[in-house]
Every structure is written in structure tokens, then in C-alpha cells.
Chains A and B, each alone.
Chain A
């Protein structure tokens, strides 16, 4: 009775859309967009270390990001060439997370009465949706605070050092940055391991290193990012 029927037959959609139509494909999209976001998060943290060099260097770095590629590229064009794909990656990542959450809610209608005893799933892996949402809300705040200045009354365009210091001198806002970055760290702790699995990068030669890689990445990002509010609150930077 069983006949090998090629699901590819009569396929009209572009193969990438076809791939994205499946849950496995959506995980590919999450992993690849996640890699892009991770690259950004690392570069962002390292770039911000200019805060420790003082106001002039930090502000110069901010301006430098806008003149890269000049004079061939007009002002801020390079920056937008980075921003737009990042935005796309963010939207794809969130859309896939949303769609897969719906799928999983349908697949798990029955719940066990006895709470499950987790043997492998970590706190980070079980809270990806929450840590993701916290990061999303934080990114919105962060852009309004330090990129657009909407929620920062002392905002001066082109002076990131000043803007950061006035914002993070407020204990409440500093606490927000710290909490959000711990959530980001947990997200990376699972995500930077999980992504290898989703895209099938798996080799007994280096599988041990994947856990190590995710832990190291999460630690470096969290420590680097949290150092800014801590150093500003304690007056080391400012």
C-alpha cells in the first residue's frame, strides 16, 4: 500500500517559504536570526566598553558608527544597512517564536496532575518565552531611552556618554537594565546551545563545547552589559 510519494511534487512555493511553513523550518529561522542577534549583542557590548575611556571617546565611537563607509556612503547609511537586517531578524525571530508557541499549545492540551520532574530541561530552557518577552520589552524601552530619547528628559542627540550616564544614574532604570540583561543571559544560555541542534550542526568531536560556548557567551554578555549600570551607580563612570 505504501508508495513513496514525493512531497516535493507539485510544489509551487519558493523553497524558503516552503521550509518556513514547517515547524522544523521555523526553528531554522529562529536559530539563524538568533545568530544574527547574538552577533549584534556581542558587538554592542564590546562597542559600549568605550564608556570606560570617557566621554570624548564614547561620543566619537557613536559618531564613527555613522560615518563608516564614507565618503562613498552618505552619513548613517552604513548604520542603516546593519539596522534593517537586524530588525528583520528580530521580527522573524519573534514571529517564529509566536507561531511555534501556538503550535505547542495545541499539542499539549492535556496536562499532568503530578508536577513533572525535570531531568534535562533547565530553568532557562523552560522560560525562553518569558525571557524573550522581557528582552523585547527592554529593547523597546532601551531604544526610546538612548536612541530616540523619548523617555530621557536630558537627552542630547550625538552625546551617548551623557545620555547613558543621566539615564543609568537613576536607581530604578539601572535596576531595569540589570534585570533585563539577566533575562537576556538566560535566553542566551539556552539559545546559544539550542541553535546548533536546530540547524543540525552536530559532531561528537565538538558537541561538548556547545554547552561551554553557550555558558561563556551568556556570562560575558551579562557581565559586560551589567557593568555599565553598576559602574555608573557607584560613580566609577560618570
Chain B
């Protein structure tokens, strides 16, 4: 396959950026999108041009490092997968492919296609944890969790923190990420002690960096793990409850 890439090049966080054209030849349809970029970078290296910086790690859709805006779609045209799981057979010979980094004020660009997502870490630090008793591990079935609840919590826990939800959102809102990270703990018995402080702290931290949700639903379709916006509704409900809850009675209500 012969393609034309239009890639966002930016030398550093404060440098001006622009789209640069790169004609590429002899790409196999069996290559993954990131392998294709590797080939392009080898070519650039050989010509003495600075290779294109992009993030990646596991290349199997579990680490959340990769993430590119491909032809106006977060993680490209294939739904429910990360950029590393996208293959060149999804494109046609002669296609022009526009590749941009995630763009949001909360994700400053480091270089080219690589962005700094440490604002997500700040949100997790604010409340994305539970208190566990130290000492020897408790018996596995000591705390019973209904199967449906465990499944639903697991659906939220599938979030890999890639940031596609923010990138796809017209408001650069981080609601889907934050809601997933709240829900996978708050749905389980083990997450109850911090349920109300968690939602307050994580939402407040999120709002320091990101926009406000207008329920477009773009995040849900962009998410490589197909996380549901139902979790956002749960977060909104819990946030309001957290504000007026009598915390001395916290164990009384769900």
C-alpha cells in the first residue's frame, strides 16, 4: 500500500506545531498502525530527519500508552480498540491519513504525537484507592459480591487510562475516565468506606484540568474498552449525594 501521512510535528511543549506530509510506500496491510509508524521512522532516521515521537508500550491494547487522533477519530476508524490494535487493512491504497496527538488543555503536548497525561494520575491520587487492612491476606470469599455487581465493576475497571474519551470530547471533559475510576471501586463493598469522599475529591480534581460534560456521548464510542456513559450518570448522582450526606450514617445507605 502507498499512503500519504499528514503528521503533527511539534519540537517541544511550547514550540509551534504543524501538519507535515510524508509519502510512504510498500506498507503491508498486515502491519499494525504503530508498526507502520516504526517503518516511517526508520526511513526518517535514514534521511537524518528527527523521527516522529509517539507513545506506546504493550502494543496489545492493555497499557493505555498509545493514542492517536487518526482522520478525526480517536484510536482510528475501528471501534472498541486502541491505536496499537488497529491494522493497516482498515485503510485503502492511496489514502491520506491525518495523524494528530490528543488535544486538550489538560493534556499538554510533550513532542509531536506524545502528550502528558499526568493529570489523570492527579485524579487517581485524589481518591482512586481503597483502605485495606494490612497483615495477612483475608480469605478470598470473605466479602461476598453479587455476580452482576462484580461484572459491572469489572466493566468500569477495564479503563486503561488512554485519554481517548478526553480527546474525543468536544469539551475536553474527562468524565468517562473519572467515572470509571470511581465506579469500579464504589460499586464494590470494599469501596464503600471512601465512597463519598472519593467522588467529591476525584470530581473536584478532574474539574481543575478538564471541561464540563454536555452528554454528547462521543467518549463512549471512542473508548477502546467501550466503557458506558451510565457510569457518568452514577458519578453525577453520587457527587450530589456526597454534598449533603450525613456522614455519620454512611453505613446506612447505598
Contacts and interface: CB of A to CB of B under 8 A. Distances in A.
Given A18-B243, A119-B222, A120-B217, A107 B210 contact: yes
Interface in B222-254: 222, 229-230, 232-240, 242-244, 247
A206 interface: no
A156 to B, nearest CB: 43
B236 A200 contact: yes
B112 interface: no
A194 B215 contact: yes
Nearest to A116: B72
A107 B134 CA distance: 40
Interface in B166-187: 168, 170-173
Given A196-B233, A200-B236, A117 B105 contact: no
A138 interface: no
B211 interface: yes
Given A120-B217, A201-B233, A107 B172 contact: yes
Contacts of B123: none
Contacts of B100: 112-114
Interface stretch (A1-9, A53-61, A80-88): A1-9
Contact of B201 (A5, A26, A193): A5
Contacts of B168: 116
Interface string B106-117: 100100000000
B105 A200 contact: no
A28 B240 CA distance: 8
Contact of A108 (B69, B104, B242, B244): B104
B211 A108 contact: yes
A113 B233 contact: no
Interface stretch (B38-46, B59-67, B125-133, B138-146): B125-133
B236 A23 contact: no
Contact of A194 (B106, B214, B218): B214
B73 interface: yes
B172 A104 contact: yes
B15 interface: no
B98 interface: yes
Interface stretch (A121-129, A159-167, A179-187): A121-129
A114 B98 contact: yes
A128 B230 contact: no
B211 A103 contact: yes
Interface string B133-170: 00000000000000000000000000000000000101
B230 A6 contact: no
A198 interface: yes
A202 interface: yes
A113 B191 CA distance: 42
Interface centre among B8, B19, B168, B194, by most A CB within 10 Å? Answer: B168
Contacts of B230: 202, 204, 207
Contact of B103 (A18, A110, A207): A110
24 contacts: A4-B197, A7-B197, A8-B197, A22-B204, A23-B212, A103-B211, A106-B105, A107-B105, A107-B209, A108-B171, A113-B98, A114-B71, A114-B98, A116-B72, A117-B71, A117-B72, A118-B218, A119-B73, A120-B217, A125-B214, A194-B214, A197-B229, A198-B236, A204-B230
Interface of B: 6, 8, 19, 69, 71-73, 79, 98, 100, 103-106, 109, 125, 127, 129, 131, 168, 170-173, 194, 196-197, 200-201, 203-204, 207, 209-218, 220-222, 229-230, 232-240, 242-244, 247
Lowest 7 CB-CB distances: which A-B pairs, in order?
A200-B237, A107-B211, A202-B233, A120-B217, A121-B216, A110-B103, A23-B212
